[in-house]
């Protein structure tokens, strides 16, 4: 038997042995402290509820506390920058609609304080959903055709609200197809826009179904179409874009998980396994359908592929909508 004193002496004399002595890395016992899930939306919003659902489920599987930190501002870029600048150790994660923040940023902003591709490592996909074109239920508008006629009768074609990148692009594409001059009104929180729409201060708004599904079901607002070309199982009865007469739009927002670049691969692998287990569960399917979304089980490679293909797609959308970078 080799004594500890002899082992230390041999290790000092043999550098290779000394280097190989630690048999485990910090990622082997990950996680051993609190994980922070950064959310780009305000507390209490539909999207915040989605982030908290996955955070709670991750906490159960990882057997470690997971807290949600809301960083709202700059159309999601404040949260994205915070994650990109965080220590790459797996203790700061980003559950977000990457298709509307990491994909679109380079085309909508002249300068970003992070690289949407290089500063993040992908983990996996979670859910997918199109946006919904909404109007107040008492304005006599029951279709996209009706809405166009309604807007054309107003000075400068009225106003629309936006609180997200996808909402803005969807509205600009609608304007481009029908030659509308409708003016954008920006909102930090989507429900503020919905309230203004109900008060007739704005005329329409593209919103995520997570936020507005219950309001549609109660009749508080009316849904005219989905931004996707195909129907959504979670939102039966709402026509897809092509059926509604909108031919330049096929937008599906997909949610995914990201961590700072250079996060150890074993940590990413653990997170991918856990999140895929959550996404494939009956609880997740029930939760997502209830809030107006479809499950989307994937992997890190699929996220990277989606990022590449959507960057190409969104470049054409931004050009078609004639949006100048801010």
- Inform me whether the pLDDT recorded for 12 exceeds 80: no
Question: Is cis: bond before 197, omega within 30 of 0?
Answer: no
Note whether 118 and 201 are same-domain residues. no
Q: Give the CATH number, domain containing residue 309.
A: 3.40.190.150
Domain assignment present for residue 294? The answer is yes
Ranges of beta strands (E only) in 66-216 are 66-70, 92-96, 120-129, 132-135, 159-162, 183-186, 204-207
Domain assignment present for residue 6? The answer is no
Q: Are 317 and 169 in contact (CB under 8 A)?
A: yes
- Can you read off the two tokens belonging to residue 48? 């915040």
Note whether 164 and 312 are same-domain residues. no
Note whether 37 and 105 are same-domain residues. yes
pTM above 0.95, yes or no: no
- Inform me whether the pLDDT recorded for 1 exceeds 80: no
Note whether 48 and 81 are same-domain residues. yes
Domain assignment present for residue 277? The answer is yes
Average pLDDT on 305-312 reads 89
Domain assignment present for residue 242? The answer is no
- Can you read off the two tokens belonging to residue 242? 């092509």
Mean pLDDT over the full length of the chain:
89
Note whether 125 and 141 are same-domain residues. no
Confidence of residue 65 (pLDDT cuts 50, 70, 90): very high
Domain assignment present for residue 247? The answer is no
Question: What pLDDT sits at residue 26?
Answer: 61
Q: Are 3 and 59 in contact (CB under 8 A)?
A: no
Note whether 187 and 55 are same-domain residues. no
Question: What pLDDT sits at residue 93?
Answer: 98
Domain extent at residue 192: 132-226
Note whether 220 and 292 are same-domain residues. no
Residue range 101-137, pLDDT digits in tens? 898 888 888 889 999 999 999 999 999 889 999 999 9
Question: What pLDDT sits at residue 16?
Answer: 44
Domain assignment present for residue 14? The answer is no
Q: Give the CATH number, domain containing residue 168.
A: 3.40.190.10
Note whether 114 and 148 are same-domain residues. no
Note whether 137 and 123 are same-domain residues. no
Range in 29-33, 98-102, 182-186 the model is least confident about: 98-102
Average pLDDT on 253-271 reads 96
């Amino acid at each position: 038997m080799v004594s500890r004193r002899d082992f230390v002496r041999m290790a000092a004399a043999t550098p290779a042995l000394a280097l190989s002595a630690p048999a485990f890395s910090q990622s082997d016992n990950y996680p051993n402290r609190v994980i922070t899930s950064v959310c780009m939306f305000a507390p209490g919003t539909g999207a915040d509820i989605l982030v908290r659902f996955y955070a709670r489920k991750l906490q159960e599987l990882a057997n470690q506390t997971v807290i949600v930190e809301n960083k709202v501002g700059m159309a999601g870029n404040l949260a994205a920058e915070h994650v990109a600048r965080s220590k790459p150790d797996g203790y700061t994660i980003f559950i977000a609609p990457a298709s509307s923040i990491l994909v679109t940023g380079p085309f909508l902003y002249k300068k970003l304080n992070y690289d949407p591709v290089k500063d993040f490592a992908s983990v996996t996909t979670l859910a997918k959903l199109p946006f919904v074109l909404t109007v107040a239920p008492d304005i006599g508008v029951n279709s996209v055709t009706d809405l166009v006629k309604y807007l054309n009768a107003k000075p400068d074609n009225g106003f629309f609200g936006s609180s997200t990148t996808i909402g803005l692009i969807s509205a600009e594409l609608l304007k481009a197809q029908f030659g509308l001059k409708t003016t954008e009104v920006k909102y930090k929180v989507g429900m503020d826009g919905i309230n203004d729409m109900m008060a007739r201060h704005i005329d329409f708004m593209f919103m995520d179904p997570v936020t507005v599904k219950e309001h549609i079901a109660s009749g508080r607002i009316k849904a005219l179409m989905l931004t996707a070309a195909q129907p959504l199982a979670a939102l039966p009865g709402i026509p897809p874009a092509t059926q509604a007469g909108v031919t330049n739009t096929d937008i599906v927002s997909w949610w995914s998980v990201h961590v700072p670049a250079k996060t150890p691969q074993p940590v990413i692998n653990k997170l991918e396994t856990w999140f895929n287990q959550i996404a494939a569960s009956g609880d997740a399917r029930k939760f997502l359908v209830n809030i107006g979304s479809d499950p989307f089980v994937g992997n890190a490679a699929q996220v990277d592929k989606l990022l590449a293909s959507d960057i190409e797609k969104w470049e054409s959308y931004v050009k078609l909508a004639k949006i100048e970078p801010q």
